[in-house]
Amino acid sequence: MKFTDGFWQLRPGVTALHAQEAYDIAETDETPDGPGIVITAPTMVIAKRGDVLNRPVLTTTLSSPAEGVIRVRIAHHTGGRWHGGFTLPGAGGGAASVAVSESGGVVDAGALVARITPGAPWNLAFEVDGRRVTGSGHKAQGYIQLADDAQVDPGIVGNARQGGGAPTASAFVHEQLDLGVGEHIYGLGERFGPLVKNGQTVEIWNADGGTSSEQSYKNVPFHLSDRGYGVLVNDPGHVSYEIGSEAVERVQFSVSGEVLEYFVIAGPTPKQVLGRYTALTGRPPVVPAWSYGLWLSTSFTTDYDEQTVNSFIDEMAARELPVSVFHFDCFWMREFNWCDFEWDPRVFPDPEGMLGRLHEKDIRVCVWINPYIAQRSPLFREAADQGFLVTRADGSVWQWDLWQAGMGLVDFTNPDATAWYQGHLRRLIAQGVDCFKTDFGERIPTDVVWADRADPERMHNRYTELYNRAVFDVLTDVRGEGDAVLFARSATAGGQSMPVHWGGDSTSTFASMAETLRGGLSLALSGFAFWSHDIGGFEGTPDAAVFKRWTAFGLLGSHSRFHGSSSYRVPWAFDEEAVEVTRRFTHLKMRLMPYLYQQGLDAATTGVPLMRPMVLEFPDDPAASYLDRQYMLGSDLLVAPVFSVDGVVDFYLPAGEWTSLLTGETVTGGAWRREVHGFDSLPLYLRPGTALPWGARVDGPEYDYHDGLRLRVFAGGTGAASVTVTSPDGRAVTYDVDLEEITG
């Protein structure tokens, strides 16, 4: 939100109080993390005794919840009830040494040091390896009050219809951190615009807006800088960012209320930042090997029954197109009943038998759910009577007609409501359902009362955490750790601990294919290790060219799903070449499973995602900063999807000798390259000196990777390397490889 009118003035109706000096610096034990520093910052420079009268102060507290992480809390009035922040499993506290002297205060958290300078002007520095990477300077910390007619022009945040936008507020706290020359900012969730966020205004407010707008299903108030640090704003409510846009030398973030809390997280490399960030907010778990295979869907509004489903699966098998998961979208339940968790008996009279027959074909089953209960559902009155639905201030059940007629919203702040919802999921799992697509969770109203009396603004984004956690916990409990997986659309900070997420409702065009990739790369730089999207696009029906290009792209990711809105996404519906393309890249992914599965295991211990923006792997290469039409799949495989009918693709190869996995051609990097590819090909290059574990089977993702394993060594390496391969049964073997013994 923009509060200023140029460099010198405030906008009409805006009053601002800024931290002007560190008047008093003292050690304290009264922080969430143990030892810390508390700073009294008057909102004018105190020159004489009388200046302390009628003078507001900002109180800033510094502490450390974990090595390399420093917590900063800015408060105007400290006596109010704070709404609380995100769940932080990695916040142990007591990680820092604290010192206060005449020269100022220091909180030393190992890889990160915070240093506050006494007196004026206000100067709070954050240092990595003895180098100031960012800081809070003059007029950076501010308490803002808005008159009723203030002209801040925040616009509409989120979905505007029927209370879906962020509520207005009269008071805000903001911080502005230095933005250096040549510094680039990334992250802030799954955002479909430019990968580099400099110059943008970003509103952290979950919304159901598709992939072609400024709205996002997955808003994460975490940004990553290529200068060796990241910042998490510890507020699940509306966080407004101005990234080198209002104050072009700074990144500003603001929240409503009296308190702003944020964490600065050290690198110095982007991978190390993500490692510490995910250690703090939650690491992704191991996902099952079967989930890496191809997911085939009924699509949304198409007609289907068991015969239709079997015709798809049998035809895929006949054409040697391995399918791992079949997904039933919304209409597995009766219309107007979503959700009642009951198979529509008119279409699926024998669900247990059908699910058993699908399992006999070695197919896992996913079904669509959402957190809403339509009033026609038999469960609506039951849930309302027991207080399981969110209510309005007058005690009536909150309802609206968007999506489902008269629907209510399950109140996951009520433990009994959560257990009730989970009970229906357990019944479906007992029938034979293997996983759930947790759709929606973004259009959460703010004019409601929650069972735990939570702040409605903060519950808007937090709701997705409670919703997905309720479902993921059931799967983990019933199926066991390592075999639980979601297909989720909404998320916020910490959502990476409940994979997998998909990119939402794209259109069926090349432009939407490219924006989908940008969203995935942005989400990866927000700490999410596993990600997918609707191959071919969701809205509309892609032409054959778009479908084939998107198929190659979609099968070179962690998770791959054919899904659409009003039309099927089986490849023969487009042309026979689409079948060949699907076979080629599905088989390729199955061969890559020893590599991909190990990368997934590594993500669970490091937090580094499978799909990696080039800047994550090559932070010292200036050319990598803006690259958003290519990515690294794991540490060693460069993918450049083709976004055109004619097959022309421009991409960048970093320095070294790269080898095409598809042709065996070697290319010297450190330059841009233009290639032309048919539908059965795309730029797919191995990093110099890669030793790639190559599986022996193409009929599915879940097999013994050691049986028939090849280690393919590619040009450009020297010396020896060790490659670990772990099979789905947990058997891990480390192989020693001579990188100069080229096997191709």
Q: Locate tokens 């925040």: which residue?
A: 154
Catalytic residue among 442, 455, 539, 617: 442
Contact present, 444 and 454 (Cβ < 8 Å): no
Q: Locate tokens 């010297």: which residue?
A: 668
User: Which residues in 273-294 are b (16+ Cβ under 10 Å) and which e?
Assistant: bbbbbbbbbbbbbbbbbbbbbb
> Which residues on neighbouring strands pair with residue 364, listed in sequence order?
325
- DSSP, residue by residue, 342-404: ---TTT-S-HHHHHHHHHHTT-EEEEEE-SEE-TTSHHHHHHHHTT-B-B-TTSPBP-B-SSS
Sheet strands (E) in 405-454: 408-409, 435-438
The one-character DSSP state at 5 is E
Q: Residue 525 CA to chain centroid, in angstroms?
A: 8
Compute the half-sphere exposure of residue 9: CA atoms within 13 Å on the CB side of its CA.
7
The CA-CA-CA angle for residues 568, 600, 111, to 5°, reads: 130
Catalytic residue among 242, 505, 534, 628: 505
Residue 636 bears catalytic tag = no
Nearest 10 degrees: Cα torsion 721, 726, 732, 736: -20
Which helix (H) or strand (E) element contains residue 181? Answer: none
Question: How crowded is residue 391: how many other Cβ atoms within 10 Å of its Cβ?
Answer: 18
Where helices occur in 451-537 by DSSP H, the ranges are: 456-479, 510-524
The CA-CA-CA angle for residues 43, 49, 55, to 5°, reads: 30
Residue 342 bears catalytic tag = no
The CA-CA-CA angle for residues 441, 344, 413, to 5°, reads: 25
Asked if omega into 500 is within 30° of 0 (cis), the reply is yes
- DSSP, residue by residue, 616-648: HH-TT-GGGTT--S-EEETTTEEE----STT-E
Tokens standing for residue 141:
């910390």
- CA distances to 152, 207, 225, 712 from 204, rounded to whole Å, are 17, 9, 18, 44
Tokens standing for residue 78:
């400290």
Contact present, 355 and 432 (Cβ < 8 Å): yes
Q: Residue 334 CA to chain centroid, in angstroms?
A: 32
d(CA 603, CA 415): 31
Q: Is 98 helix (H, G, I), strand (E, B) or coil?
A: strand
Q: Which residues contact 345 (CB under 8 A, 6 or more apart)?
A: none
Would the CA dihedral through 102, 103, 109, 110 be positive or negative?
Answer: negative
Contact present, 353 and 359 (Cβ < 8 Å): no
Q: Is 710 helix (H, G, I), strand (E, B) or coil?
A: strand
What is the number of helices (H) and of strands (E) in the chain? 11, 43
* Identity at 445, one-letter amino acid code: P
Nearest to 465 by CA among 504, 493, 427, 505: 493
Nearest to 221 by CA among 467, 462, 519, 499: 462
- CA distances to 13, 129, 441, 469, 491 from 419, rounded to whole Å, are 47, 48, 18, 12, 21
The one-character DSSP state at 487 is -
Residue 442 bears catalytic tag = yes
Q: Which residues are catalytic?
A: 439, 442, 505
